[in-house]
Structure 1
Amino acid sequence: YEIREQDRWLPIANVDRVMRHSLPKNVKISKEAKECMQECVSEFISFITSQAAEKCLIEKRKTLNGEDILYSLYSLGFENYAEVLRIYLAKYR
């Protein structure tokens, strides 16, 4: 099936909120910066999710879970992100 371009990206309002939360209050963020971050973050999520989905396919599973995302992060060289997510998942469970 075909995915519309706007459905591939996180909503710009969500990206803006996260960016503002990470920066000092007096910093302004241009529309171009928000759109660039929106595209980068969305591509990163797709990249990680695709790797996790491939693992599920090989294991003949239909449900992608947190462990699959961790596996993807480790296997793609994002160990630092994986460690933070592992801690979050442990607290979440």
Structure 2
Amino acid sequence: MAEKLDDLNLPNASVQKIIKEVLPDSVNIGKDARSALSRAASVFVLYVTSQASNEAQKGNRKTLTPKDVMTALTELEFENFIEPLEEALIEYKNSRSKKGKGKKSIEGNDTDDIDDQHETAEDDLKDDE
């Protein structure tokens, strides 16, 4: 567990990299704004993680799954994040399989087909509506 509040923040280098990728080259961001974005991103991750943890507990599980995160986003009314997140998850898994590490799901189980997982996540979300 974190010993102090700053332990819960995302690494500044990671946040800076994300900011640089999103903003045009001609735009600079002040130190205070960068700090505020870093803190906001950390709070958002903690908020979604807390809700996803509740979902896992409902299923008597200790391991968070992508479905838990997608359900949390839906319940927190961030549905517009789901599709980009699913695409990023597929891209990540595909890049891992191309590196020869095999296809592993977030919970560590072998997967047969990444597309099946994508469709299952979409179907599960539709069932909840």
The normalised TM-score by structure 1 is 0.89
Q: State the alpha-carbon separation in 2 of the partners of residues 87 and 25 from structure 1.
A: 26
Q: State the alpha-carbon separation in 1 of the partners of residues 87 and 22 from structure 2.
A: 20
Residue of structure 2 in register with 1:77 after alignment: 77
Structure 1 unaligned residues grouped into runs of 5+: none
Structure 2 unaligned residues grouped into runs of 5+: 94-113, 115-129
Check whether the contact 2:2–2:8 (CA below 8 A) recurs between aligned residues. no
- CA shift at 1:44, angstroms? 0.4
Residue of structure 2 in register with 1:63 after alignment: 63
The normalised TM-score by structure 2 is 0.66
Residue of structure 1 in register with 2:26 after alignment: 26
The alignment's C-alpha RMSD in Å is 1.5
User: Taking CA–CA contacts closer than 8 Å with sequence separation of 6 or more, which of the two structures ends up with the larger relative contact order?
Assistant: 1
Aligned residues: 93
Q: Which has the higher Rg, Structure 1 or Structure 2?
A: 2
> In the alignment, is residue 12 of structure 1 matched against residue 8 of structure 2?
no
- CA shift at 1:81, angstroms? 0.1
